[in-house]
Amino acid sequence: MGIKVIQQGVGYLGKKAIELMLRKNIEVVAAIGHQSHIGEDIGKLAGLGEVGVKVTNDVQKVLENVKADVVSNCTGTTLLGVYEHIKPFIEAGINVVTMAEEFGYPWYRAPKLSKEIHTNAKANNVTVVGTGLNPGFSWDFIPIAYISACWRVDKIKARRVTDWSKTSPRRALLRFGKKPEEFRKGVVEGKIPLHTGFYECMHLLADSLNWKLDKIVVTWEMAVSKSFREAEFVTVQPGTTVGFKQVATGIVGGEARIVLELCPFVHPNLDEDGVESGETIWIEGEPSFTITTKWAPVEDGTPLCTVARLVNTLQSAIEAESGLLAVTDLPLTKTVRIREVVK
């Protein structure tokens, strides 16, 4: 019997999640979204044919009329904000998988709230887990897999360069094509958010190595374009922002032992920007590893992978133990069940 899913959030990534679930023949029994999408058929919203499920903003009505196994949540980033969105489903006995970065490994940044979520999930016998690309895969799951093949690890460094030329309108218009002083002021005042998932990845990596972090230092710098670049939702003129670089450094025993770099750009150009799309992970130890990944097409890599991690985790979350879990508590995928293949 297939699983029944409630999609919560029908923005850019929410639509992608619906599209992937429908393509996988996963039954989406309800969709909850903002006022602007109420009444729209989710199939048409995802660029497919009508399926007879309309978007609503009435959570209580959904809970009263729909039976579901799991919620696919795409409504935000923060632990507190998203918990308020998913709490009614937890208390109704429905599992939740969210792409909110702060759910990736929240126990250090928000121990009190994490305990509350865990206790609530246990009391209602459901699983709550955050996943995605990072946190959830590139900067934690993959390095940890390689760490398991090491005799000794001295240092981990990861760099991720993403092409945001096809990112959501909100992300694009907020960050790119800005005058440098406008961008700087927006970041300082908190009006232009940068990446928030460093802490979760950093702590999960450190815990996997039994390292105690002294502190985490996060820095950023903007990149200003020398050329004209056109993206799906924004135009970048010379002299305006085309990207930024964030670096999180984990200090262990007074030394930089974990370094995570994120570089989102509009059409990153190696000659001009000094970086090109892709990911590289360096593990120094015995033995040492260098792992490089390239996407094709590069501009679609981030949303496609993020949504795939979300959707491919739904079945695992349903079958997992109850509580607030991390991705490392779940198998990598449940698309193939060996015991069924053997039978």
Q: Which two tokens stand for residue 143?
A: 């390095």
pLDDT at 1: 55
Quick check: 51 pLDDT over 90? yes
CATH dotted code for 141-294: 3.30.360
Q: How far is CA 68 from CA 89, 131, 252, 323, in A?
A: 10, 20, 44, 18
Distance CA 71, CA 94 (A): 7
- The torsion of the CA quartet 327, 333, 334, 337, rounded to 10 degrees, works out to -130
Q: What is the pLDDT of residue 298?
A: 62
The lowest-confidence range among 168-172, 196-200, 214-218, 223-227 is: 168-172
**Chain segment 166-184, per-residue pLDDT in tens:** 776 677 667 888 899 999 9
Which residue type does 263 have?
A: C
Confidence of residue 197 (pLDDT cuts 50, 70, 90): confident
The C-alpha atoms of residue 283 and residue 154 are separated, in whole angstroms, by 8
Q: Say if residue 342's pLDDT is above 60.
A: no
| Rounded CA separation 316/301 (Å) | 23
Question: Alpha-carbon Rg of the chain, whole angstroms?
Answer: 20
pLDDT band at 42 (very low <50, low <70, confident <90, very high): very high
How confident is the model at residue 80, as a pLDDT?
96
Task: Give the tens place of pLDDT for each residue, 119-141.
Answer: 999 999 999 999 998 898 999 99
Q: How is the chain split into domains, by residue range?
A: 4-130+303-342, 141-294
Please give the Cα distance from 71 to 175 (Å, whole number): 30
Instruction: Decide if 24 contacts 12 (C-beta within 8 A).
Output: no
Confidence of residue 300 (pLDDT cuts 50, 70, 90): low
The closest alpha carbon to 141, from 328, 268, 298, belongs to 328
DSSP string, 255-306: EEEEEEEEEEESS--HHHHS--SEEEEEEEEES-EEEEE--SSGGGHHHHHH
Task: Name the CATH code of domain 4-130+303-342 (choices 3.40.50.720, 3.30.70.270, 3.30.200.20, 2.120.10.10).
Answer: 3.40.50.720
The predicted model scores a pTM of: 0.89
d(CA 108, CA 100): 16
Contacts of 319 (CB under 8 A, 6+ apart): 334
For 259, the token pair is 């370094």
Name the residue with tokens 């795939």: 308
Given a cut of 50, is residue 336 above it in pLDDT? no
Reported as a single tens digit per residue, the pLDDT across 220-229 is 999 999 999 9
- Cβ pair 263, 274 in contact under 8 A: no
* pLDDT per position as a tens digit, 103-122: 999 999 999 999 999 999 99
**Identical fold, 4-130+303-342 and 141-294:** no
Whole-angstrom Cα distance, residue 85 to residue 105? 18
**Which range, of 1-5, 80-84, 114-118, 258-262, averages the lowest pLDDT?**
1-5
Alpha carbons within 13 A on the beta-carbon side of 149: 8
Please say if the pLDDT value at position 339 is more than 90. Answer: no
Q: Which residue has the tokens 């190696």?
A: 270
| pLDDT range class, residue 77, cuts 50, 70, 90 | very high
Cα 16 from Cα 298, distance rounded (Å): 17
At residue 341 the predicted structure's pLDDT band, cuts being 50, 70 and 90, is: very low
